[in-house]
Amino acid sequence: MGFHYSAEDIRIDDDHMLRARLQRADGEWNDAEIDLNNHIGNDNGHFVWDGEGFSGSAENVYFSLESDGQAAVLRATLFDGDGNGEERDLNLGERIGNNDGEFSYSMLPHRNCSQYSLLMILRLGDRMCEVRALKPRTCYTSFSNHSTANMSESAVHRVTLFNWKPSCAKILSICPCFALVVL
């Protein structure tokens, strides 16, 4: 769930610092901040998750709650490589949550899990090797530097489903190297 459902006094400072008072599990409020430049980039005039430094090529950066409080929207004029600016927006609630009064960033969306057809999660030993949401009708043969053909079955200890709600996912199959989850 997006952070904005348990937040007050939400604002953007210095064009990249998201600040708010976030509610903790005990009901108390905590002043929190997250540097959006560490998680959002500008790809030729468009916001991109898992990027960085968007504010270096942005103007008129601001935050607003929209859709009757359902969307926590970052808006800015983003510039492309030719210097052309367009107003763009990004729903921060898709990836930014509230973890007991602190901002948390998720590599996978908090909502709309149905936009992906498969989720592949690999765990090698005690460290996460790869987490990838796979888009429908797209062929994937390798993931980062790891090919499924090169994975040692004995190196995989377990499959973890993270924060995906059971209502969103049905496990299709689990083999020693990966799990395929239909969303």
Backbone angles phi, psi at 28, to 5 degrees: -75, 160
Domain containing residue 25: CATH number: 2.30.60.10
CA distance 154 to 152: 5
In this structure, are 92 and 8 located in the same domain?
yes
pLDDT digits (tens, 9 = 90+) for 160-172: 333 333 334 433 3
Q: Who's near 103: CB < 8 A, 6+ residues apart?
A: 3, 18, 20, 22, 32, 33, 34, 96, 97
59-112, pLDDT tens digit by residue? 999 999 988 888 899 999 999 999 999 999 999 999 999 999 999 998 766 544
pLDDT tens column, 107-149: 766 544 334 434 444 444 444 444 444 444 333 333 333 333 3
Are 10 and 85 found together in one domain? yes
pLDDT tens per residue, range 33-51: 999 999 999 999 999 999 9
Do strands 118-124 and 179-182 pair parallel, antiparallel, or not at all (unpaired)? antiparallel
Same domain, 101 and 140: no
68 and 118 together in one domain: no
Gap between the Cα atoms of 31 and 168, Å rounded? 32
- Cα three-residue angle 12-98-133, rounded to 5 degrees: 95
pLDDT of residue 109: 60
* pLDDT class of 153 with cuts at 50, 70, 90: very low
